[in-house]
Structure 1
Amino acid sequence: MKIVILDGYVLNPGDLSWSSLEELGDLTVYDKTVFDNSNDDLIIERIKDAEIVFTNKTPISENVFKNCPKLKYLGVLATGYNIVDIKASKKFGVVVTNIPNYSTDAVAQMAVSLLLELTNHVSIHNKAVKERQWNEIGEWCFWKKSLMELGSKTAGIIGYGKIGQATSKIVQAMGMKVLAYNRHKNKVLESENVKYAELNDVFEKSDVIFLHCPLTEETKGIINSKSIERMKDGVIIVNNARGSLIVEEDLAHALNNGKVYGAALDVTSREPIEKESPLLKAENCIITPHISWAAKETRERLLNIAVENLKKFLEGNPINVIIL
């Protein structure tokens, strides 16, 4: 049985082992498969003889399914599966699976880390000390930018699934109140410090807004000039969900005019970020390269689930199957 991984480097740059997949078949791993939206030729060439294929971000179109008749199973090495034409997979009889709930704690940890970088400016002050600015001041203490205390402030969490709830637990431990917005409300999750709210209430009453919702037609561009106008002056926005949840030009404008105090982003609408992006020069905007999921422990968990998904498929009892 031939197994191909189209883009294995991000999951495993060398610190993990592919041995658990090698035990299941003849494994070929490509670090990256370069593609463009108009040409699937390289993808097809690499997987045309494979029964089993794994992809992280390499797109699998109807044309790929059509030209790879041996393909029986496609494992997406992520939770999101918008890179796959699911309708076409059904048409050609290919089972598609994903990896749910593998990075909950890591993503929540990163969300709060991004927030704390904006409020406590750790990297700025570390750099200042190493440049001997502290010595030049000559005082026992100095600061480059004012720090912010989060206790008693309100965190608005848009998307109150597992990651949103994990973030909520952390910020509550720091004394924050939580307003949660979710399409489906689970009243059991409400408490003295956590209340469900309508979206506009989250915009209007939050000091910090976390984005933890999926990217859908309804949520695309949910942070825009109109929603920002509803927010408190000096609001902080944290996004490590999907870049296209934000209209980036509108956020950059709000950062530059001071309506938004700061933004911390681990995702952008185009990745890598375009060199012309207005966010690169926006005031008080922190950007990291989509690393919330990337702790070694998290990647190990992802790989283990991917292997288990394949084993269950081979046994005739597939799990984590994407169903339209």
Structure 2
Amino acid sequence: MTETHRIVFLDRDSVIANVRKPSFAHEWTEYPSTPAGETVQRLRDARATIVITNKVALGADALAQLPDVELIAVAATGTNIVDLAAAKEHGIVVTNIRNYAVHTLPEHTFALILALRRQLVAYREDIAAGLWQKSERFCLFGHPISDLAGSRLGLFGYGALGKATAQIARAFGMEVIVHNRSPLPDAAADGVREASFDEVLETSDVISLHLPLTDQTRNMLSAKELIRMKRSALLINTARGGLVDEVALADALRSGLIGGAGFDVLVTEPPPTDNVLLNLRLPNFILTPHSAWASTQAMQTLVDQLIDNIDAWHAGAPRNVVG
């Protein structure tokens, strides 16, 4: 007799897209969101065999109470919400989503870079304050504007997203240097150059982060690194909160140690009201609410791949397996 799988989507509202149902026999339950204290109970009540989660955590304690679960399909690339060691111990397969944001996130990265290099926020505030209206000439100066052409972009990380970001940079006429944890055999063909950590940090006009958050990358840029950046340099983080020491960044921006920063991620999300970056009101700092990944097209690609992962696992050929 064919098993009817019981699928529970713990945080359906985390993606705005049309989610087709898997091709095999199943029961489907979805919740807009799931508070941490209700995760185990909901999965146990449904006797879930397949769990879909975007940001609802499944730690070791939770997994120990869920003997029916066979697959955790993460509706995101990052899998730090799942205790992978515990999942393996219980024989649970974990899958994730890959390369779905290859257009939307690099585009958002450059939206931040362009806004900062062109001083869009500063000039918008000037207009709101009536400064252009009172100008003695047809235009308004006051904030130096810098072209991207001829400047240097330094990338930390060169996966699919870093590579796509480099392609856009080259179209703008930027030189691209990359520091990556593994060698880049195609660097020359891509038109980029491998560089040391120090060279990327100290010589880049713009630094963009495209790394996962691990024990090795946590706070990789703190006060002692920020002080070594060019005073005019921009720091862009559309990757993971925690790669940069937030307090040190706020201090560097206030004191003029770096030229500006554009962030789409914070250590804690949603952020507490006292987060130091959330309350930073400077024209050379832009914060967006973890939305770089969330174009309409990217979210549809994500959920299509999510169901493809579940179908592949059921067919005995699991793909995008983590751990």
TM > 0.5 between the two? yes
Amino acid corresponding to residue 88 of structure 1 in structure 2:
A
Amino acid corresponding to residue 288 of structure 1 in structure 2:
T
Within a 5 Å distance, the mapping from 1:204-219 to structure 2 comes to 204-219=202-217
Within a 5 Å distance, the mapping from 1:7-18 to structure 2 comes to 7-12=11-16, 16-18=17-19
Unaligned 5+ residue runs, structure 1?
36-40
Task: Output the CA distance in 2 between the equivalents of 1:234 and 1:133.
Answer: 25
Are 2:9 and 1:5 aligned? yes
Is the contact made by 2:154 and 2:177 (CA closer than 8 Å) also made in structure 1? yes
**34, 40, 43: which one aligns with 1:47:** 43
**65, 69, 72: which one aligns with 1:71:** 69
Task: Output the CA distance in 2 between the equivalents of 1:273 and 1:219.
Answer: 21
Amino acid corresponding to residue 300 of structure 1 in structure 2:
Q
Unaligned 5+ residue runs, structure 2?
none
CA 1:141/1:169 → structure 2, altered by over 3 Å: closer, same or farther? same
Q: Which has the higher contact order (CA 8 A, sep 6+)?
A: 2
CA 1:24/1:145 → structure 2, altered by over 3 Å: closer, same or farther? farther
Is the contact made by 1:157 and 1:164 (CA closer than 8 Å) also made in structure 2? yes
Task: Output the CA distance in 1 between the equivalents of 2:272 and 2:116.
Answer: 23
Task: Output the CA distance in 2 between the equivalents of 1:163 and 1:110.
Answer: 11
Task: Output the CA distance in 2 between the equivalents of 1:258 and 1:59.
Answer: 38
Q: Could you give the per-residue CA deviations for residues 6-59 of structure 1, whole angstroms, max 9, x where no partner exists?
A: 0111212xxx22343497522111111112xxxxx4101111111111001111
Helix, strand or coil at the partner of 1:297 = helix
CA 1:197/1:3 → structure 2, altered by over 3 Å: closer, same or farther? same
Helix, strand or coil at the partner of 2:12 = coil
Are 2:294 and 1:294 aligned? yes
Is the contact made by 1:208 and 1:237 (CA closer than 8 Å) also made in structure 2? yes
Task: Output the CA distance in 2 between the equivalents of 1:24 and 1:231.
Answer: 56
Which stretch of the first structure deviates more once superposed, 196-205 or 126-135?
A: 126-135
Task: Output the CA distance in 2 between the equivalents of 1:90 and 1:163.
Answer: 28
Helix, strand or coil at the partner of 1:270 = coil
**148, 159, 162: which one aligns with 2:160:** 162
Within a 5 Å distance, the mapping from 1:115-194 to structure 2 comes to 115-125=113-123, 134-137=132-135, 139-143=137-141, 145-190=143-188, 194=192
Is the contact made by 1:159 and 1:181 (CA closer than 8 Å) also made in structure 2? yes
Which stretch of the first structure deviates more once superposed, 66-75 or 19-28?
A: 19-28
CA 1:128/1:256 → structure 2, altered by over 3 Å: closer, same or farther? closer
Are 2:110 and 1:112 aligned? yes
Structure 2-normalised TM-score?
A: 0.91
Task: Output the CA distance in 1 between the equivalents of 2:318 and 2:83.
Answer: 19
Helix, strand or coil at the partner of 2:242 = helix
Amino acid corresponding to residue 280 of structure 2 in structure 1:
K
Helix, strand or coil at the partner of 1:187 = coil
Aligned residue number for residue 38 of structure 1: none
Aligned residue number for residue 80 of structure 2: 82
Structure 1-normalised TM-score?
A: 0.91
State the aligned residue count.
Answer: 315
Is the contact made by 2:20 and 2:304 (CA closer than 8 Å) also made in structure 1? no
Instruction: Indicate the RMSD between aligned Cα atoms, in angstroms.
Output: 2.0
Task: Output the CA distance in 2 between the equivalents of 1:217 and 1:11.
Answer: 28
Aligned residue number for residue 280 of structure 2: 281
Which stretch of the first structure deviates more once superposed, 272-281 or 157-166?
A: 272-281
Q: Could you give the per-residue CA deviations for residues 151-177 of structure 1, whole angstroms, max 9, x where no partner exists?
A: 111111000111111111111111111
Is the contact made by 2:211 and 2:239 (CA closer than 8 Å) also made in structure 1? yes
CA 1:299/1:255 → structure 2, altered by over 3 Å: closer, same or farther? same
Q: Report percent identity of matched pairs.
A: 32
Are 2:207 and 1:201 aligned? no
